[in-house]
Amino acid sequence: MKITGFGAAEGVTGSCHLVEANGARLLVDCGLHQGGHQEEKRNWQTFPFDPQGLDGVLLTHGHLDHCGRLPRLVKEGFRGPIITTAATREVARLILLDAAHLQHEDFLVRKRKARRSGQPVRPPLYSVEDVFYMLDQFEPRAQYEQPLELAPGLRASFRDAGHILGSAFIELELEEDGTRKRTTFSGDLGNLGQHVVPDPVIPDRCDLAVVESTYGDRNHRSVEDSVEELADAVNTTLEQKGNVVIPTFALERAQDVLFYLGQLRREERIPECPIFLDSPLAIDITGVYRRHPGCLEGTLQGMIESGESPFLFEGVRFTRTVEESKEINDVRGAIIMAGSGMCTGGRVLHHLRHNLWREEASVVIVGYQARGTLGRALVEGAKNVRIFGEEIAVKAKIYTINGFSAHADRAGLLRWLGPCRGGRALLVHGEGHALKALQTAVQDELGMEAQIAPLGEPVNL
Ligand code: ZN
């Protein structure tokens, strides 16, 4: 078996691994490069392999950095199946349609500017039609713990990665000349002790583990501490009759925060108040969560089976239309969840413009904020920010809560890798310092050989 990393090798985004085994050629994930102009330019480059020559794609989960180039792959001639779980198909469908829609809007803006500057304008990576065309190739026949025969002597098992709804790590088993070898692709692994999706399953022993390293250099605060911090932020702000604005990623974080707010309400640790989920994408994705109770943690499964919703409780309002969203401007003493998660666009900008200058309001940051984003500026204590070209004073209290990560921390990664002692680890999906820290930890604490995956160079098993 030969594995070549063409993305998320020596970096975080654009996950894409080519597997060649027993004459079959497969991709594990085909994600978008994200974060900055240089990184994003790579999405337009032709694939360093022939998409027509692929037998299939195995998709670990529906985050854009794992599925975001699939429509492009199909445009360039890939005609094989995209094998994944039923929940991931639904999540990826919504995420990719949204991405195509945003690319189209961005294209229209650039086209207008290009007309004035006389510069050529690059078309979008793919259209909404391309996404619909690609969806026909999805085969949601992967079920947790049910091995699939991909080719003679080649089997794949999708197992719960506990990262987001439907997420899987994939064990690939190859039988060659009477010997059996196993390579395990971690995809993204979940954080221990989250409440919406279960903890990651522990893998079987393997010969090679291709493992993500996002937080290979640190441990998270516990989820319980973070829920306590959230309760404090809500109580302090509501006592002052201010609004709590929570910039939220539509996938997983929105559902996590809604569930925790529901739990705090049920335990009467926060008062009754209006809670707005002001994001059509997050609302749609919440519907997918409710349709797949089997992928959720036990408590939530039980709630859904007994007809109770973990996400829709007293006070919660799903605001889909622009008019409903605008009406929130007149509300005080509410919790407002809106995207984008890093405040780079979307409805949250309107809510920040209406609340940041108010001393009684607060902004609760619950996710990673990349350098250069408005969210990062708020975390770093900016006194003034610009929103829609207007200077806004930051008087609201800014809370940063770090324990809601959907990624395993260093301890979680080492725990997951435990059964693979005796095999090798190939480290992917991390920034340089995280990769190096995890490499040292895997070697010292597990006694395993650990290699940082070289971009574009094959690794043989
Ligand atoms: Zn992910």
Residue 59 structure tokens: 């998709």
Give dist(CA 380, CA 374) in Å, integer.
10
Cα 94 to ligand 1 centre (Å): 15
Residue 397 structure tokens: 């209290």
Please report the pLDDT score of residue 180 as a whole number: 92
**8 A C-beta contact, residue 309 and residue 318:** no
Burial 54-93 (b: 16+ CB within 10 A, else e): bbbbbbbbbbbbbbbbbbbbbbeebebebbbbbbbbbbbb
Q: What is the mean pLDDT of residues 96-107?
A: 95
Cα 65 to ligand 1 centre (Å): 7
Q: What is the mean pLDDT of residues 116-129?
A: 92
pLDDT higher than threshold 90 for residue 38: no
Instruction: Please provide the DSSP assignment of 245-284 as one string.
Output: EEE--TTTHHHHHHHHHHHHHHTTSS----EEE--HHHHH
Give dist(CA 43, CA 33) in Å, integer.
6
Cα 60 to ligand 1 centre (Å): 9
Q: Is 143 left (phi over 0), alpha (psi -120 to 50) or beta?
A: beta
The residue to which tokens 């929130």 are assigned: 328
Residues paired with 180 in a beta bridge:
175
**8 A C-beta contact, residue 260 and residue 193:** no
> Which pLDDT tens digit goes with each residue over 140-155?
999 999 999 999 899 9
Give dist(CA 444, CA 248) in Å, integer.
37
Please report the pLDDT score of residue 54 as a whole number: 98
110 burial type by CB count under 10 A (0-12 exposed, 13-18 middle, 19+ buried) = middle
Please report the pLDDT score of residue 36 as a whole number: 72
pLDDT higher than threshold 80 for residue 8: no
The neighbourhood of ligand 1, an ion, using CB within 5 A, equals 63, 188
pLDDT higher than threshold 80 for residue 255: yes
pTM assigned to the model: 0.94
98 to 70, 94, 128: CA distances (angstroms): 14, 6, 8
Here the contacts of 17-20 (C-beta below 8 Å, separation 24 or greater) are 17/185, 17/210, 17/428, 18/49, 19/172, 19/183
The residue to which tokens 């999706």 are assigned: 197
Cα 347 to ligand 1 centre (Å): 23
Average pLDDT of the chain to the nearest whole number: 95
- Identify whether 340 is preceded by a cis peptide bond (ω within 30 of 0): yes
> What are the two backbone dihedrals, phi and then psi, of residue 415, each rounded to the nearest 5 degrees?
-60, -45
> Which pLDDT tens digit goes with each residue over 363-375?
999 988 887 889 9
Which strands make up the sheet holding 244-247, listed edge to edge? Answer: 316-318, 275-277, 335-338, 244-247, 362-365, 397-400
Cα 104 to ligand 1 centre (Å): 24
Q: What is the mean pLDDT of residues 128-149?
A: 97
Q: What is the mean pLDDT of residues 227-240?
A: 98
Please report the pLDDT score of residue 450 as a whole number: 96
Cα 73 to ligand 1 centre (Å): 20
Q: How far does Cα 363 stand from its chain's mean position?
A: 22
Cα 7 to ligand 1 centre (Å): 14
Instruction: Please provide the DSSP assignment of 169-227 as one string.
Output: EEEEEEEETTEEEEEEE--SPPPTT-SSSPPPPPPPP-SEEEEE-TBTT--PPPHHHHH
Outline where DSSP puts E strands in 309-441.
Answer: 316-318, 335-338, 362-365, 384-387, 390-393, 397-400, 424-428
> Which pLDDT tens digit goes with each residue over 59-72?
999 999 999 999 99
Cα 128 to ligand 1 centre (Å): 22
Cα 189 to ligand 1 centre (Å): 8
Residues whose CB is less than 8 angstroms from the CB of residue 115 and which lie 6 or more positions away in sequence, other chains included: none
For 156, the enclosing helix (H) or strand (E) is strand 154-160
pLDDT higher than threshold 80 for residue 322: yes
Cα 251 to ligand 1 centre (Å): 10
DSSP type of residue 436 = H
Please report the pLDDT score of residue 225 as a whole number: 95
Question: Which residue from 1, 77, 72 is spatially nearest to 30, judged by alpha carbons?
Answer: 72
Cα 318 to ligand 1 centre (Å): 25
